[in-house]
Structure 1
């Protein structure tokens, strides 16, 4: 719509005797537009357009309620797309995303991943959902090559629970990777560089478990949690695409998500959704890549039967270095230490 001042300018130029073509050139409009507003009296206006109903319109009340239930969390468009398709929606995801952005704008952070060889590494992390009298956490393990993930909901993060979750994950993957990457949790590591640079003091129970199954323990550098970015990214996906939709749905019915229900639902979600989706980085289906990775995994062995009660997470007052450790270590240029730290 042109402004009222432009309409007046057109009429003034016409009164000055200028041609329609000359007026159109001066005001930057088409000749037919100039002719139209010369014939029109009063302020310019457009006819009101008819409102066209979209395929998404019947589902907007449901979407508004789901977004309201999940606050302060956001539900991904892919999750809500599955829900409304079950109700009969036949449109695409683009108009759904546009509508959801008008309700709750979503900011995505792009992260570049370091790729690993098949069977080389598994990244593990805890994700805490609920504290208090009814705590709820999830053990999450992701294979670095295929991006296949395993999730187990638990009520505690004790060492015995951690070891059992590992064995369940190995069964789910169909083999054991060469290395497992963790953050600096006490159930894995007690002291960094305790016996020299890069020679950490691991939790004895966890170390014995790793030796039993034949994989190497590796920990991230302090304050560098994104080193295990593959599992960190999956944690976000798990929270927003699985936990928040399920917990909010139960909450609307006056129920609280428990461990048994969460584990039953998450296995179904992993099989039908998480490990069947086309991964954003690899552009392949994780379960299909697992078929290629499985041949490079170590075969499953006997279950671990070690006594983890001896592995107490207590910091000793003094840690003595082994006899072979030099009392006056040789000094090297700083780049040497940087390379060692990067490899730790």
Structure 2
């Protein structure tokens, strides 16, 4: 380029410069018209495999679903063929702020010694937009971490007992102890000495099946941390992607998920 400008400055014609430097006339004209360092034209930005699904992802984020495992499962059902990392990178700025958990020393048990049980309530909308609720019974074997989940319409003692029977049958046995929080389904109150006043119907059930009832320290649900994490896992991983027609269908999907 420097030679072109110097020759042109000496009065040489474009044809002469072309002949002397063995370059095309268009090249000479371009350098004389726009002196300076030539810059390559910017490449068109390539589209991402995620682009067609971003509207759907934003819709799910607005509904409070920011678990990338769930989102990946859903958009793959819609045809997404990309990877997990690009989805995680896209979702990260939109994730809700989470408080860092406090550290707790974990209490371990022997095989068959303990199961931890909890209930969680989940909201859904009927086809006409009416809000409804179901209860999730979650039982986690403390040693094996095996989980049983069952959804029921009413959180009453009869349903609670039925879920235990179904869970024990599914997991293949009855643990020595079951750990609960201080829910009315298990313990009605405590007396002046701090001793539990049991729900007699549930106590009778436990005695008949031969497992001990173990209670968390009041206001310290972290005592049953394994099932607390289980309820949170159901809420964060299964429930956001749940699509069901009725309670039977919901429980069938929950068992497949487990």
TM-score range, shorter chain: 0.7 to 0.9
Considering only aligned residues, what root-mean-square deviation do their CA atoms show, in Å? 3.0
Q: Which of 197, 207, 225 lines up with 1:211 in the alignment?
A: 207
Q: 3-state SS of the aligned residue for 2:175? A: coil
- In 2, the alpha carbon distance for the partners of 1:92 and 1:201 equals 54
In 2: Cα distance, 1:204 partner to 1:234 partner: 27
- SS of the residue aligned with 1:169? helix
CA contact (8 A) 1:81 1:93 kept: yes
SS at match of 1:262: helix
Contact 2:135 2:152 in 1 (8 A): yes
Q: 2:90 aligns with which of 81, 91, 99?
A: 99
TM-score, normalised via structure 2 length:
0.72
Corresponding position of 1:117? 110
Question: 2:26 — aligned with what?
Answer: none
Counterpart-to-counterpart distance in 1, 2:57 and 2:233: 20
Alignment length, in residue pairs? Answer: 216
Aligned equivalent of 1:142: 140
Change (3 A) 1:179 1:136: same
- State whether structure 2 residue 68 is matched by structure 1 residue 77: yes
Question: What is the DSSP-based 3-state SS (H/G/I as helix, E as strand, rest coil) of the residue aligned with 1:240?
Answer: helix
**Partners in 1 of 2:196 and 2:118 — Cα distance?**
19
- Decide which of 231, 245, 252 is 1:264's aligned counterpart: 252
Structure 1 residue runs of 5 or longer lacking an equivalent are 1-38, 251-256, 271-344
- Structure 2, unmatched stretches of 5+, are 1-34, 125-129
| Superposition deviation, residue 231 in structure 1 | 1.1
Match of 1:128 in 2: 121
Q: Match for residue 54 of structure 1?
A: 48
User: Any idea what the Cα deviations from partners look like across 1:310-330, whole Å, max 9, x if unmatched?
Assistant: xxxxxxxxxxxxxxxxxxxxx
Give yes or no for the alignment of 1:173 onto 2:171.
Answer: yes
| Other-structure match for 2:233 | 237
Query: Which residues of 2 match residues 154-165 of structure 1 at below 5 A?
Result: 154-165=152-163
Q: Report how far residue 48 of structure 1 moved.
A: 4.7
Work out the CA distance in 2 between the residues paired with 1:96 and 1:123: 34
Greater Rg by CA: 2
When residues 54 and 109 of structure 1 are mapped into structure 2, their CA distance, relative to the original with a 3 A threshold, is same
- For the Cα contact (< 8 Å) 1:195–1:201, is it kept in 2? no
Matched residue, 1:183: 181
Distance 1:49 1:222 in 2: 64
Q: For 1:152-208, what per-residue CA distance to the aligned partner results, in whole angstroms no more than 9, with x for missing partners?
A: 11111111111111000100110011111111111211233x3846x4222222111
| TM-score w.r.t. length of structure 1 | 0.56
How far off is 1:223 after superposition? Answer: 1.0
**Higher RCO structure, 1 or 2 (CA under 8 Å, sep 6+):** 1
Task: Name the residue aligned to 2:31.
Answer: none
- Provide the C-alpha distance between the structure 2 equivalents of 1:60 and 1:148, rounded to a whole number of angstroms: 35
Counting only pairs closer than 5 Å after superposition, residues 307-318 of structure 1 correspond to structure 2 as none
User: In 2, distance between residues paired with 1:114 and 1:40?
Assistant: 72
Number of the residue aligned with 1:228: 224
